Chains A and B, each alone.
Chain A
Amino acid sequence: MTLIAIDSLQQDIEHYWNQIERDGYCIVRGAAPRLLVEKLGDDLRAGFETTPLSQGPFYGETTRRFHGLLHRSPRTAGFVLDPLIHGVAERILRPWCDTIQLNLTQAIEIEPGGLAQPPHRDQDMWPIHAPGVEYLLNVMWPFSAYTAENGATLVWPGSHRRQGEIFIGMEEAVPAEMEPGDALMFLGSTLHAGGANVTATPRRGMIISYSLGWLKPYELPWLAYPPHVARTLPRDVMGLAGYRAHRPNLGTYEGRCPSLLLDEAQNGPVGAIDMLRPDQEALIADYRSGLLPVAPVPLRTRAG
Chain B
Amino acid sequence: MIRIFEGHEPPGANPVLDAMHHARKRVFVDLLGWDVPVVAEVFEIDQFDDDHAIYIIASDDSGAHEGSIRLLPTNRPHVLGTIFPSLCDASVPVGPQIFELSRLCLSRGLRAARRLEVRNALATAVVQFALQRGIAGYSCVADSSWLSQILSLGWTVRPLGIPQMIAGLPTGALLIEIDADTPAKLRAAGTHVPMRILPTAAIDREAA
Contacts and interface: CB of A to CB of B under 8 A. Distances in A.
Interface of A: 1-9, 12, 33, 35-36, 39, 74-75, 77-78, 81, 83-84, 86-87, 234-237
A6 B206 CA distance: 14
B2 interface: yes
A6 B203 contact: yes
B195 A9 contact: yes
A169 B125 CA distance: 46
Given A8-B203, A78-B187, A81-B187, A1 B180 contact: no
Interface string B167-208: 000000000000011011001101010111111110100000
A6 B194 contact: no
Contacts of B54: 4
B9 interface: yes
Contacts of B5: 1-4
A121 to B, nearest CB: 29
B132 interface: yes
Contacts of B187: 77-78, 81, 234, 236-237
A3, A6, A39, A236 pick with most chain B CB within 10 angstroms: A6
Contacts of A77: 184, 187
23 contacts: A1-B9, A1-B17, A2-B5, A2-B7, A3-B5, A3-B200, A4-B5, A5-B4, A5-B199, A5-B200, A6-B2, A6-B197, A6-B198, A7-B196, A9-B195, A12-B196, A35-B180, A74-B184, A78-B184, A78-B187, A84-B196, A234-B188, A236-B187
Interface of B: 1-9, 13-14, 17, 54, 125, 129, 131-132, 180-181, 183-184, 187-188, 190, 192, 194-201, 203
B4 A236 contact: no
A86 B7 CA distance: 34
A273 B199 CA distance: 47
Given A2-B7, A8-B197, 4 more contacts: A3-B200, A5-B198, A39-B181, A81-B194
A219 B89 CA distance: 53
Nearest to A76: B184
Q: What secondary structure prevails in chain B residues at the interface with A?
A: mixed
B166 to A, nearest CB: 31
Nearest to B193: A83
Given A3-B200, A7-B196, A236-B187, A33 B4 contact: no
Given A1-B5, A1-B9, A9 B181 contact: no
What 3 A-B pairs have minimum CB-CB distances, sorted nearest first? Answer: A83-B194, A7-B2, A5-B4
A77 to B, nearest CB: 6
A2 B198 contact: no
A7 B129 contact: no
Contacts of B1: 6-7
Contacts of B180: 33, 35-36, 39
B13 A5 contact: no
Nearest to A37: B180
A136 B27 CA distance: 47
Contacts of B188: 234
B183 A78 contact: yes
Contacts of A74: 184
B137 to A, nearest CB: 17
A272 to B, nearest CB: 28
A15 B17 CA distance: 29
Most-contacted residue by chain B among A4, A83, A84, A234 (CB, 10 A): A4
A190 to B, nearest CB: 24
A192 B191 CA distance: 37
Contacts of A33: 131, 180
A7 B195 contact: yes
Contacts of A8: 196-198, 203
A78 B192 CA distance: 10
A234 B189 CA distance: 8
Contacts of A3: 3-5, 200
A8 B7 CA distance: 21
Contacts of A84: 196
A18 to B, nearest CB: 14
